[in-house]
Amino acid sequence: MPFIGKVILITGASSGIGAAAAEYFAKKGALLALVGRNAEKFEKVLDKIKASEIDLEPLVILADVSIDAERIMSETIEKYGHLDILINNAGFSIQGTIETLQMDDYDSMMATNVRGVVELTKLAIPYLLETKGNIVNISSAAGIMPVPSNCAYSMSKAALDQFTKCVAMDLAAKGVRCNSVNPGFIETDFHGVERDTDEWAAVEELCAQKHPLQRIGYCDDCVNAIAFLADESANFITGILLRVDGGISTKGAF
């Protein structure tokens, strides 16, 4: 298996896409450094990994990527000695139009969704250069098209997309790839709506109708894309924004 013994650092790994990616790569024999802020959610992730009868116990780092990038990297290297793959997944959204947007919310989103990614990537580069590793950023279809009442979030993901392409160009000649996965509406807790409720059913139906493939996405859809880009079989691919969005970004607006 291509990920056996590979050191993979995943941020935002306590839930959603990050948690699904952690479980996937653990099953593939990777050595994981998992970053998140919620210890209780991490227990559920670790229980799933242990239930798969996997011998390798991940390194769990309780941290905030917007302020703890140096500690995250130092703990990862202290544990494993090197780094093969960085998956920048941590991020959040606070809804608001330009009229209702609070600047504190804007600053918080930019700190996590952009600055934290930039700093952690910068710290990871010396190690990725040694291993000829790669970076996968988890962005959003919102970075490609406007999404109503998501002004700051869409801006942050557009910035992340441009960062992905710039890093890809900066590091290509040195053998390090950088790509992005841009999901549409994915079934996670990210949206602030409790699942298995009438409210969730209504949101899911509405969003499914907006996607040309007539369904919402699932974590596995994104994890399969992440694994493809992180794998050496994609070694001639860098600087792409892989849209895992049911075709919604082709419409130009949500």
**CATH number for 232:** 3.40.50.720
Residue 211 phi/psi, 5-degree rounding, is -90, 130
Domain of 59, in residue numbers: 7-191+217-248
What is the per-residue pLDDT across 172-195, written as a single tens digit (0 to 9) for each?
999 999 999 999 988 876 555 555
Q: Is residue 100 part of a domain?
A: yes
pLDDT the model gives residue 191: 53
**Mean pLDDT across 154-182:** 98
**Mean pLDDT across 20-39:** 95
On average, the pLDDT of the chain sits at 92
Q: Is residue 157 part of a domain?
A: yes
Q: Is residue 205 part of a domain?
A: no
Q: Is residue 86 part of a domain?
A: yes
What are the start-end ranges of the H helices in the chain?
Answer: 16-27, 39-51, 69-80, 103-110, 116-131, 151-171, 198-210, 219-230
What is the rounded CA–CA span in Å between residue 155 and residue 141?
11
Please tell me the pTM assigned to this model: 0.93
Q: Is residue 24 part of a domain?
A: yes
Q: Is residue 18 part of a domain?
A: yes
What is the per-residue pLDDT across 94-122, written as a single tens digit (0 to 9) for each?
989 999 999 999 999 999 999 999 999 99
Q: Is residue 201 part of a domain?
A: no
Q: Is residue 237 part of a domain?
A: yes
The pLDDT confidence band at residue 142, using thresholds 50, 70 and 90, is very high
Return the higher-pLDDT residue of 52 and 14: 14
Domain count, the chain: 1
Catalytic site residues? 153
